[in-house]
Amino acid sequence: MNDATDLTTVLAGDHRELDRLCTELELGQGSPENRKDLADHLIAELVRHAVAEEPYLDGEGDLAEADRLMRRLEGAGPQETRFERLLGGLIRAVRRHVRDEGPAAVDEVRRSCSPQRRAELGKAVRESRDAAATVPHPDLADRVPPADQLWPGPGFVDRARAALQAPASG
């Protein structure tokens, strides 16, 4: 078994990266446009993480709250008053997840899956993430150039989810 692809290792690494992004946003540095770019990066990382971890969560919790906030935030411009309020709510939901729900989900994966199964799942998660940048949303595949398929903005959360959940071609 490769520890780097063990699903518990992948999820724990996600938690560290989400925490790092939240800290960077909390520092409040950069122009509003730079903060919007960083918020979009946080959203993309959170969607990637949620797709991998949601099967091990009860469904209504910090990730569900974060999903609602991401959908409201994706359409907010960095100059709008609601942007920082929504971003603050998203950061709080992510922090609660990383502190409370996330470790419980990692423990659930460890309890419910054999080391071999964790390695298979971790590898599948990594492969789906690698493929996500090249897999368009099914409704857009014939109309959107590949370079623009996961652009931020309205519908970003859904496009990212669709790309991550699409079957890998092979």
Q: CA-CA distance, 121 to 113, in Å (whole number)?
A: 9
Which of 61, 56, 60, 45 is CA-nearest to residue 111?
Answer: 56
Q: Which amino acid is at 96?
A: R
- Higher per-residue confidence, 125 vs 42: 42
pLDDT at 51: 82
Residue 62 binned pLDDT confidence (cut-offs 50, 70, 90): confident
Per-residue model confidence as pLDDT tens digits over 18-37: 999 999 999 988 888 889 99
Pinpoint the alpha helices (H) of 27-80.
Answer: 32-53, 62-73
pLDDT at 26: 94
Q: Taking every pair of C-alpha atoms in the chain, what is the biggest distance, in angstroms? A: 49
Task: Report CA Rg, the chain.
Answer: 16
Per-residue model confidence as pLDDT tens digits over 112-139: 999 999 999 999 888 877 765 544 444 4
**Hunting for tokens 């999903």 — which residue is that?**
67
For 130, the token pair is 């690698």
Domain map of the chain by residue range?
3-165
On whether the CB atoms of residues 11 and 124 are closer than 8 A, the answer is no
Overall pTM surpassing 0.95 (yes/no): no
For 111, the token pair is 């309890």
- Where in 6-117 does DSSP place strands (E)? none
pLDDT at 156: 57
* pLDDT > 90? residue 98: yes
